[in-house]
Structure 1
Amino acid sequence: MLGSMAIRALSLSPLDSIAVVVHPDDPLDWLPALGNSAFSASPSAWPSIQVVTCTEASQGMSFSIRCGLKALIDDNPKLDAVVVVLADQPFITTGMIAELIGYLSERPELDYVATATDVGGEGEQNAILMPPAILSRSMFEVLLQLEGDAGARKLFGLPQFRGAALLAADRTTVFDVDTPADMVLATKQILGQTYIREHRF
């Protein structure tokens, strides 16, 4: 369910295509949620979605990133940017993705734009950069060289790349589910949102 929530947000964003990277043992029983009535846009309005099986997904995030990026480049060799999103971030929004895309398109001198959370109330000066993030073609080579459990976040501090941070308006949107305790919190949040939607006057 969590993965389908993230894909829903991506599907309603300005993205042209989406690569969903999965482990070979993934039953994919969460994917049918793409076609349910929770989507406000018709299926014809969605970007193309492909499932990419990554045999080495369990060895670290870098393997999944490489699999997904290669699949997207194979489909579109002229791909000029890619948005990296974690499936365990169920509360990302379509607006967040659109803002990242718009920010980079208006500032072509940048190599990436990442989401950030404000730590200590000091704004960008004390922000932690994280996905969702958009990375331009200038970073594809190093993305394809990531190893182990390193994700795109590892690249944000490299001096050869110029980037920007967009502070998340609500820290809930970047909450990621890593533990059973996180899952309990996420479930409570989801149930709360559902109650508000269905009982609003």
Structure 2
Amino acid sequence: MKIVGIYLAAGNSSRMGSHKLALPVGTMTVGSLALETALKSQLDEIFVITKDTDDADWLPVEMKSDARCSIIKCSTAHEGQSESLRCGIQQAQAHHADAVIIMLADQPFITVQMIEEMILCMRKNPTSKFVASSHKQTIMPPVLFSSSMYNELLELRGDKGAKAILQGDFLQKGKLLPCADKRLVFDVDTEADYEALQSIEKTK
């Protein structure tokens, strides 16, 4: 079973006021932390989806040159998250992936264990449509989708992410993996979030 990562990194950072993925965190950047984690996992390939104007200089050279990592420029990213997602799904289809894990570049505390548990869960339950992280019954990224969901994901439009599908009766068709520590699914949207991230990193 070939499982690839779709690393969504084409947001507008509108609530931050500056390109949040380029903000420094120790010797790293906000946007490189979760990618470093993904590259330590069993994912076969990782497609980093960026705006077509982004040269991805917020990523270390060694990550960009990693054989499993591909930078995909999405020319329609400004139209909403669904466009970035579509770019990723199209890459997954072209590379004959059996499933994708959709990750957000602004979730710095995702762990290798979380990714591996999702992959293991899908391999044990190959008829599942999805495997999703959840915190207190709320679904949070990352989310794994089987290839049977590609067409539905490609039909999303505007600023809708994959979460738009994960509701109602559809939830009976997959698996939820509870995450007790909300910090693991924390995302950096505002200056206050960035300050919190820096404080947490200093205590490690």
- Answer whether TM exceeds 0.5 for this pair: yes
- CA distance in 2: counterparts of 1:185 and 1:141, whole angstroms: 38
* Structure number with larger C-alpha Rg: 1
**Could you say what secondary structure the match of 1:8 adopts?**
helix
User: In the alignment, what sits opposite 2:72?
Assistant: 52
Letter in 2 for 1:156: L
Offset of residue 192 of structure 1: 2.0
Higher normalized strand content (fraction of residues): 2
1:56-95 matches, cutoff 5 A? 56-74=76-94, 76-77=95-96, 79-95=97-113
Residue by residue, what CA displacement relative to the aligned partner does 1:40-93 show, whole Å, maximum 9, x if unpaired?
A: xxx8xx66110000112122111111011112222x23x110000000100001
1:1-201 matches, cutoff 5 A? 1-32=29-60, 34-35=62-63, 48-74=68-94, 76-77=95-96, 79-118=97-136, 127-160=137-170, 162-193=173-204
Letter in 1 for 2:105: A
Offset of residue 155 of structure 1: 0.8
Offset of residue 110 of structure 1: 1.0
Give aligned-pair identity as a percent.
37
- CA distance in 2: counterparts of 1:33 and 1:165, whole angstroms: 35
Offset of residue 188 of structure 1: 1.3
Aligned length: 175
Change in CA separation of 1:158 and 1:47 when aligned onto 2, cut-off 3 Å? farther
For structure 2, the 5+ residue unaligned runs are: 1-28
**Could you say what secondary structure the match of 1:69 adopts?**
helix
User: In the alignment, what sits opposite 1:199?
Assistant: none
- CA distance in 2: counterparts of 1:100 and 1:179, whole angstroms: 28
- CA distance in 2: counterparts of 1:117 and 1:34, whole angstroms: 33
Offset of residue 27 of structure 1: 3.2
- CA distance in 2: counterparts of 1:16 and 1:8, whole angstroms: 14
**Could you say what secondary structure the match of 1:26 adopts?**
coil
